Structures are given as C-alpha cells and as structure tokens.
Structure 1
C-alpha cells in the first residue's frame, strides 16, 4: 500500500522541531542571553547588551547553516547576509557604547533584578522570532528549493537597500555626535534630514528582504516565518524603538521652536522630502507615513508647543 504524503503540520511536533532545529536554536539563544545577563547584572555592565543581541543572530545563522550541511545557494546567500548585518551592527554598537560609557536606557531597571531579567528574556524572544526565516531557509529539506526566483531577487534588493540605509544612518549620526560643535543638538543631517529614524527604516527593510527570500521555500506550518517581519515592525514602531526615542527627544528638546518645526516637517520613518511632508494632512501622515499621535508627546516640563507653522519665507534652524 502506498504511503500517503503528510504535510509538515501533521507529522508531529517532535519531528518538526528536529527537522528545523528549532529547539536547539531556542536553547542556544536562551543560553547566550542568560550568560550575558549574568555578566551585565553582576558587573553592572551595559557594554554587552546590544552586542549580545546582534551576535546571537549570527550564531543562529551559522549554526543552522552548518547543521544542515546542504549548502544550497539560497542558504549561503542568506547566511552571508545575516552575518554581514550582524557583525556590522554588533561591532558598531559595541564600539559606540564603549565610547559612551553607560547605556541610560537601563537606568530605571538596572537595579531591579526581575525587570532587568525580563529585558534579557524579551531580547531572547526577539532574536529567536526574527531569526525564523533564516532557520527555515537553512533547514536541510529546503536546500533544493530551486534556483533564485523573483522573490529571492526582490528580497535581496530589499536587504541590500536596508543594510545601506541602516549603515549610512548610523555613520552619519555617530559622526554628528562626535563633533563637539553639535553638543546639545539633535541630528538632522543626511538621511536624518529626510527621516527622524532612518536606521529603523533600514532595519525593517532588510528583515523584510530576508522574509521575502524565505517565501520562496516555506510551505504549510513554515509560514510561521511571518512572525519575523511583524515582530520587528511592532517592536520598532510601537514598543521600544520609535516611541521611546521620541519621548526622550521631546523631553530634551520639546520646548525649542526649531525642534518642533523639525518634527512637523520630518517623517518619523519613511524617507520623505521635508517640504512635501509638512504640506500633507495629518490623516495622510498617520495612515501612510506612520506619524502616530503617540509620537508627539509633551515634554516633561509641559512647555507650550508651537501651533502656527512658519511662513514660506521664514527660515528654520536645523541642528
């Protein structure tokens, strides 16, 4: 009697975990983040936090790549992509925090063991969830997914564009902050003239690219990979990315007329000419350009914001 084909979802949870090394990836991620958490909590040491996240992505990409041992073209490409991104970002963030000295994001939770542990657990969830497309692409069963197709090419273009945007944005802001003349100013040069958070635009774009590449091979339950782009978008747009930095900037510069005008004419995420962005209705900005109302909070001192836009001939100082 012929055996009836069973889709991955019907083969049993144990088989699925073994087939994709999901359990091993979860364990490795938890071990890495727990180790770095112990170092950070014991030594009150912030310098390993971002490095722990970026390097974990690289470890999972290499682990799943070599465990499969199939070395397909798509697997090689995606693994190289993630390693290039991970090494660059981890190295940059480590160098930056070494120069800064302390990460003030953790000032309110560093002394609370449970809250600090919660952050590290959340970072583990972030790494594992966003890495899902890479884990499934590198699975041995997906090595014969055919030659590069349209989705692979589109995904590669997305990844390259995102990596370039993120890299350039980081370089521009780092250079701006290292200039003593810019002390007490916000960065509004280069890509930061067109977007308040171009680095996050790059981050979202490159992971969308990885997801699109995975769409060439995933089937049935493997479509869980959609969690990756959804997770990264939600985190950056609604949780610890843009909202946190917007509040921080509002608290620091919110009473300054130049900063209020900068926010009024600069897109939060997508690159958009300031003159065009300023002229758009608020509803259009919200629906299509991610200018959500909670990005515009009053600074802590409750200073009065400007309500009238400058006239056409009025100059605007840009820090």
Structure 2
C-alpha cells in the first residue's frame, strides 16, 4: 500500500482543523447560551456564534474564486462589529452593560478594520497566504478558524449582551474598572500602531527596527494593548456571568495565548532575530527591553 501523498496529508489535516474549529464553536455556543435571551426559541448567543462562522464561509467563496486574501482581515473585523451591533438590537430590553459592551467591541473592530485595510492597501498581497490560497481546502480552513477566533474572542461581550433580563446586575464598580482598562488598552494599541506606521513611512528607517516611543519600553506594546483591551471587556462582562457562561473566560485567555505563544510574538521575535540578531544594537535592545509588559521607569538613551 502506497503512503499518503503530501496533498492528501494536507487535506486530511485541513479537514481535522475545520472539524475541530466547528466543534469548539458549537461547544462554546452551547455553554454560553445558558441563561441567555432567545429569538424564536433559539439562544441569541448561539445565533451569534453561528453567524460568525457563516459570514466567514460566505466570504471565503469569492475569495477562493479570486484567489485573494485581501479582505480576510477586514471580514474578521466587520464580523465582530456587525454581530455585536445586531446582538444588542435583538436582545430584549438591553441594559447599559449590553450597550457599553457592544460599543466597546464595535469601536475596537472599526479601528482595527480601518488600520488593517490601510495596511493591506499599502502592502498589497499577504505573504502568509501565498501557498495556502492555492488549495481551496486549506484556504477554507483559515476562514473557518477565523470564525472560531471571532466567536471565542467576543464570547465574554456577546454572552453578557445577550443575558436574559432576569440575570442582569447593576453596572457597578467592576464595570467601571472594565471600561477604564479597555480604554487604556485602546490608547496603548492605537499609539503603538501609529508610532510604528510613522516609523515605517520614513525612508531613512528602511530595514531598521523601531525602538522609540512605546517601543522603547516594550518590544510589542501593540500586543500588550490588545491583551488589556480584552481583559477590560471581560471585567465589564463578568458580573452577569453564571454557570457555564463562565466559558467567557476563554476570551482573554485565547487572546493571551495567541499573541504570546502562537501567531504573535513568537513569529515576530523569530523574524527579528533572523534579520537583526547579529547586530549589537538589536541584541542590546532585546536584552534591555521587556518583550510584552512595558517598563514603567525611564527608558535608556540607546533604546528610547
């Protein structure tokens, strides 16, 4: 019997990944729907999760036909915004927490979507997809996984937004703290992204690494801001979570895991090491600057 070809193994892996993403989404939808409002007898949170996956699959169709990933990131951002807005409008008698959480997610998504759209416009194609988009099944895999990412990341907000009226609580001090934490994360992320965009726009910085502004205090301040944002969302949602709804804890945990262990910091650190690892100034920057949590003290001259 002949061994499986690389294409066969790749297809099998993609099918497993797609199935796993769908199962995870279904389990989260089931758990988070406990005590939630319904529409025609169907839990609103489950409808939100189903819509997140459906939007990705529908968007995949023209993307596969065109073999283009240009609107992949934008679709993810728009999914966050559209479902959050729809959810708060469909929830019976939404309270102040529901409106605030929807606004938090929508504002974050609009900001991120516009930032990514401008980046795609400047950069053109995304090298991550060069090989993936040649295989329809592998390409579908990343879209379905994006559906799982949206659903799990937004879980805390969506569960709290769609909580049944009987399970609601006064906004309270923890809600205020959550909003303040979210706002701090937004400021950090926006400033870090703006500083890096300005750095890259300067022709004199071609093939250089940024080490000014927030980047003198953290090697990845934008990721720190992103983590803080979703911690703020979770804190705002936490007072109304009960029973299996605590699956919402996956929201900040997933963001932390992805950025620190999977697709964020590890990939960028490896790329930076390959590009500048033999330069003394980069080695000094790497060794004197925290990888994620910004240094609060005065930045040194050589990395400030």
TM-score range, shorter chain: 0.7 to 0.9
1:64 alignment counterpart: 87
Q: For 2:185, which of 162, 169, 176 is the aligned residue?
A: 162
Report Cα offsets for 1:214-259 as digits up to 9, x if no partner: 1111111111111111111111111111111111222222222211
TM score, norm. by length of structure 2: 0.82
SS of equivalent to 1:215: helix
2:274 alignment counterpart: 251
2:229 alignment counterpart: 206
TM score, norm. by length of structure 1: 0.78
SS of equivalent to 2:295: coil
Contact 2:101 2:237 in 1 (8 A): no
Matched residue pairs, number?
A: 273
Contact 1:74 1:143 in 2 (8 A): no
CA distance in structure 2 between the aligned counterparts of 1:34 and 1:16, rounded to whole angstroms: 24
Q: CA deviation at 1:140?
A: 4.9
Task: Go from structure 1 to structure 2 and tell me whether the alpha carbon gap of 1:60 and 1:47 turns closer, same or farther (over 3 Å shift).
Answer: same
Q: For 2:52, which of 29, 38, 52 is the aligned residue?
A: 29
- Name which one, 1 or 2, has greater alpha-carbon Rg: 1
Contact 2:70 2:125 in 1 (8 A): yes
CA distance in structure 2 between the aligned counterparts of 1:173 and 1:14, rounded to whole angstroms: 41
Q: For 1:262, which of 280, 285, 288 is the aligned residue?
A: 285
CA RMSD of superposed structures (Å): 2.7
2:100 alignment counterpart: 77
CA distance in structure 2 between the aligned counterparts of 1:134 and 1:143, rounded to whole angstroms: 18
Q: CA deviation at 1:104?
A: 1.8
Q: Name stretches of at least 5 consecutive residues in structure 1 with no aligned partner.
A: 1-7, 279-314
Q: CA deviation at 1:55?
A: 1.2
Q: CA deviation at 1:135?
A: 1.4
* Structure having the larger proportion of residues in helix: 2
Contact 1:33 1:120 in 2 (8 A): yes
Contact 2:163 2:240 in 1 (8 A): no
Q: CA deviation at 1:274?
A: 8.0
Q: Name stretches of at least 5 consecutive residues in structure 2 with no aligned partner.
A: 1-29
Alignment of 1:1-319 (within 5 A): 18=41, 20-142=43-165, 145-272=168-295, 316=302
CA distance in structure 2 between the aligned counterparts of 1:274 and 1:47, rounded to whole angstroms: 40
CA distance in structure 2 between the aligned counterparts of 1:12 and 1:205, rounded to whole angstroms: 27
CA distance in structure 1 between the aligned counterparts of 2:256 and 2:238, rounded to whole angstroms: 18
Q: CA deviation at 1:186?
A: 1.2
